Amino acid sequence: MRFLPIVWRNLLRRKFRTFFTMGAIFFAFLLFGVLMAIRSAFSMGIDMAGQGRLMVIDKVSIINPLPASYEQQIKQVDGVTDITHANWFGGYYQDVRNQFATFATDPESWLRVYPKEFDLPEDQKKAWIADRTGAIVGADTAKKYGWSVGQRVPIQGTIYRRPDGGPWEFTIDGIYDSKIKGADKTNLLFNYQFLRETIPEGSGFRDRYNWYVFTVSNPDRAPEIAAKIDALFANSPAETKTNTEKNFVSDWAKQVGDIGQIMMWIVAMAMFTILLVAGNTMAQAIRERTNELAVLKTLGFGEGRILSLVLLESVFIAVIGGGLGLALSYVFITMSGDPTHGLLPAFYFPSTQLVVGIGLVAMLGLASGFLPAWQASRLRIVDALRRN
C-alpha cells in the first residue's frame, strides 16, 4: 500500500496518454453495452420464452386462423394443463404509424398462462375479466400516449374492421408491468368476444384463433405432446404445427436473418480493435520504463512486488475506462431503452452480460500489464539498465 504513490506518479507522468487510453477503453466498453443490447433485441426476447409453454399455429401459414373447437380437443390431450388463444389484431392509435402489438384473447386463461409476463393488481385483473369491452395495456405504451386506468381509448384495426368503419372503443381496465427484465411492455390485449361480435356470422373467420398457447405439466414431455396434437389434426382442412414457445421465438428471430449476426460480428471486431490499440499503448508505456524497473530491482524490490506495481497501474487504467464505459452504457440503455422508439421491444442490457464485460475489463488490465512486466523481469538487471 505504501507504494501506491509510485503507481500514481507513473499514471500522471504522461497525463495526456493516460487520459486518451482510458478514453479509448471507455468507448470500447460503451460499444460492448450497445452490442449486448442489439444481441438481445435480435434474439427477440428468446431468453424470456417460457419453458413449459407450447404454441399451436396453422401448419401452412400463421395467417390462417385455427377453429375454436380445437381448444377443447387440445385441452384433453394428456399432460396439457391449461390453454389460451390469441388473434393478431394489428391495432393503431389515431395514426397508422402509432402501431403496437394488439391481440384479442380470453382474459381469464391468458392471465393464468402468463402470470409473470403480465403482472396486474388483483382488482384490475378482475375488472378486465368482467369487462367485455375492456383492455389491458403495457406500461410503456400507456406512458407513451398518456393513458390511465378507466380511460376509454379508440383503437383502429388494420385487419379487422367494424361494420361502421369506426374505431373500437376499449376501456383501459389495467396497465400491466412485468417482473421480467426486458419484457415487452408495449402490447394491448382485449377480450375476443368484443371482436367476435363484429365478424359476420358465416364468415370463414368467425370463431377462429391465430394461435393457441398451452402449458404442460412436464416440459420434458413437450416434443411428445406436440407430436400428439399435430397427429390429432392431421389430414384435416386445418393441420397444425405445435412447438415450444422458445422454438417459435427462435424461428421468428432467425427470420430476421443474419443481418443481426453480421452487425454483431462487426461491432465485436471493432471493439477488439480499439482494445488492441489501447492495450498496446498501455504495454508500450511500461516497456519504455524497463530500465526504471531495473533500478527498482537494484534497490531491492522483489519481482512479485514490481509485477504487482505494474499490474496495479494497468488494471487501474482498464477499470476506470472500462468500468465507466460499462456503467454508463448499462444505465443509459436501461433508462432510455429502445433507440428506435418501439421497433425493438427487447432492447436491454442483460445483467449476465455485464459480468462478461467486467471479466473483459479485468483481462485487458492484467494482460496489457503482465506481458511487459514479465519480459522486464526476465532481463538481467545489468542488461535492463543499459536499455534505453
Partner 1 sequence: MLSQIIAVTGVNIRSIPARLGSSTVAVIGIAGVVLVFVAVLSIAEGVNATMKASSDPNLVLILRSGSDTEMTSGLAGEAVRVIQDAPGIARDASGAPLTSPELFVVVDHPLKRGGSAANVPLRGVSPEAFQVHNRLKIVEGRNIEFGKNEIIAGRAAAQQFVNLNVGTTLKWGENTWTLVGIFEEGGAVSESELWCDVKVLQPAYRRGNSYQSVYARVSSGDSFQQLKDALTSNPQITVTPMRAAEYYGSQTEVLQRIIRTIGGIIAVLMGIGAVFGAVITMYTAVASRTREIATLRALGFGSIPVVISVLAESILLGSIGGIIGGAIAWLAFDGYQTATMNFQSFSQIAFSFAVTPQLLLTALLISLVMGTAGGLLPAIRAATLPVVTALREL
CB of 271 to partner 1, least distance (A): 8
Helix (H) or strand (E) holding 380: none
CB-nearer residue toward partner 1: 43 or 156: 156
Helix (H) or strand (E) holding 117: none
CB-nearer residue toward partner 1: 115 or 257: 257
Query: How many angstroms separate the CA atoms of 289 and 18, rounded?
Result: 15
CB-nearer residue toward partner 1: 129 or 324: 324
CB of 216 to partner 1, least distance (A): 22
CB-nearer residue toward partner 1: 107 or 279: 279
CB of 96 to partner 1, least distance (A): 5
Query: How many angstroms separate the CA atoms of 35 and 40, rounded?
Result: 9
Query: How many angstroms separate the CA atoms of 284 and 287, rounded?
Result: 5
Closest by Cα among 240, 245, 243, 252 to 223: 243
CB-nearer residue toward partner 1: 301 or 332: 332
CB-nearer residue toward partner 1: 129 or 354: 354
CB-nearer residue toward partner 1: 218 or 273: 273
What angle, 0 to 180 degrees and rounded to 10, lies between the N-to-C axes of helices 15-42 and 259-287? 160
Q: What share of the chain is helix, strand, coil (3-state, %, to 5)?
A: 55, 15, 30
Going from the C-alpha of 139 to that of each of 159, 185, 234, the distances in angstroms are 24, 6, 41
CB-nearer residue toward partner 1: 170 or 176: 170
CB of 280 to partner 1, least distance (A): 5
Helix (H, G, I), strand (E, B) or coil at 327: helix
Query: How many angstroms separate the CA atoms of 59 and 233, rounded?
Result: 10
Q: Could you tell me the strand order of the sheet in which 134-138 lies?
A: 99-100, 91-92, 152-157, 168-176, 134-138, 188-191, 102-105, 80-88, 211-216, 53-58, 240-244
Please give the torsion angle defined by the CA atoms of residues 39, 137, 91 and 75, in that order, rounded to the nearest 10 degrees: 80
**310 and 366 in contact (C-beta within 8 Å)?**
no
**Interacting residue ranges for partner 1, rule: CB under 8 A:** 14, 16-17, 20-21, 23-24, 27-28, 30-31, 34, 38, 59-64, 90, 96, 99, 156, 158-159, 161, 165, 204, 237, 239, 241, 250-252, 254-259, 262-263, 266-267, 269-270, 273-274, 276-278, 280-281, 284, 339-340, 343-344, 388
CB of 368 to partner 1, least distance (A): 12
